[in-house]
C-alpha cells in the first residue's frame, strides 16, 4: 500500500549562516528593549517577558524584519501565492527565563507564524511543540509503541540558535518549560499576504 498525504501540516525551517554575529546584535537589542519596558506584554507567556508586537516599526530591527519577509515570501511562492501579493508582518521579542513557558495557542488573521532563536544555549531550554490540527483524531488514540508523523498528538522541534521555524498561523503550538539555568530568547512573528495597492 502506498500512503497519500492529504492536507499536510508543514513547518519550514532555515538556519542562517551568519547567526553568531547576527544574534549578538539581536541579543543586545532584546535586552535593551526589556530594560525600556520591564512590564512587557502579558499574552501566552508564563513567567516570561514579551515585548509589544511592534518590532516591524523599529529601525534597529530592520535586518531580522527583512529576513522574516524574505523567508515567508519564498514560502508563499512555493505554495503558488498570487504574484500580486505583498507581505506584511508583526514581530516581538520573547525572553523566557528558567521556569518560563508558553501556553498552547494559535495566531488568527495571518497566513504564517514563526519563531527565530536568538539564544538557546541549553538543550533543556524548552522545545516548541505543535499539536495535531485534526481535531476528530483526538477521539481515539492509536495503540502504537512509537508515535509517527501520522499518529503523534504533538510533535516537538528543538530550539537552535540562528534557526527560524515558519508554520501556518492556524497550527496550534506552545513552548515547553525552560528547565535550563539560562534565558531562552527568541523573536516571534505573524505574516499576512495582501494584494498590492
Query: What are the start-end ranges of the H helices in the chain?
Result: 19-36, 62-78
Residue 140: per-residue pLDDT? 86
Nearest partner of 117 among 171, 54, 178, judged by Cα: 178
> Domain 13-195 in CATH: superfamily?
q2cbj1_9rhob like domain (2.60.120.620)
Q: How confident is the model at residue 61, as a pLDDT?
A: 98
Residue 91 CA to its chain's centroid (Å): 10
The per-residue pLDDT for range 31-62, each reduced to its tens digit, is 999 999 999 999 999 999 999 999 999 999 99
Write down the pTM of the prediction. Answer: 0.96
DSSP string, 40-64: ---SSEESSEE--S-GGG-GGGHHH
Confidence tier at 77 by pLDDT (50, 70, 90): very high
Residue 123, pLDDT score: 87
Domain edges within the chain? 13-195
pLDDT confidence tier of residue 197, bands split at 50, 70 and 90 = confident
pLDDT of residue 150: 87
Q: Cα-flanking dihedrals φ and ψ of residue 70, to 5°?
A: -65, -45
Across the range 84-92, mean pLDDT stands at: 97
Q: What are 137-164's pLDDT values in tens digits?
A: 888 888 999 998 889 999 999 999 999 9
Cβ–Cβ under 8 Å, residues 117 and 162: yes
Amino acid at each position: 500500500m502506498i500512503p497519500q498525504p492529504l492536507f499536510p501540516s508543514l513547518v519550514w525551517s532555515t538556519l542562517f549562516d551568519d547567526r553568531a554575529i547576527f544574534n549578538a546584535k539581536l541579543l543586545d537589542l532584546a535586552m535593551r528593549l526589556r530594560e525600556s519596558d520591564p512590564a512587557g506584554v502579558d499574552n501566552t507567556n508564563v513567567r516570561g517577558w514579551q515585548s509589544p508586537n511592534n518590532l516591524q516599526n523599529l529601525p534597529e530591527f530592520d535586518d531580522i524584519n527583512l529576513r522574516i519577509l524574505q523567508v515567508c515570501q519564498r514560502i508563499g511562492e512555493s505554495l503558488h501565492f498570487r504574484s500580486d501579493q505583498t507581505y506584511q508582518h508583526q514581530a516581538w521579542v520573547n525572553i523566557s527565563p528558567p521556569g518560563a513557558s508558553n501556553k498552547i495557542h494559535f495566531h488568527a488573521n495571518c497566513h504564517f507564524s514563526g519563531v527565530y532563536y536568538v539564544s538557546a544555549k541549553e538543550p533543556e531550554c524548552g522545545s516548541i511543540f505543535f499539536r495535531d490540527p485534526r481535531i476528530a483524531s483526538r477521539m481515539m488514540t492509536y495503540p502504537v509503541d512509537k508515535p509517527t508523523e501520522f499518529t503523534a498528538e504533538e510533535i516537538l522541534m528543538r530550539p537552535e540558535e540562528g534557526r527560524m521555524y515558519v508554520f501556518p498561523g492556524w497550527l496550534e503550538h506552545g513552548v515547553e518549560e525552560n528547565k535550563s539555568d539560562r534565558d531562552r530568547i527568541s523573536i516571534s512573528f505573524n505574516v499576512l499576504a495582501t494584494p498590492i495597492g
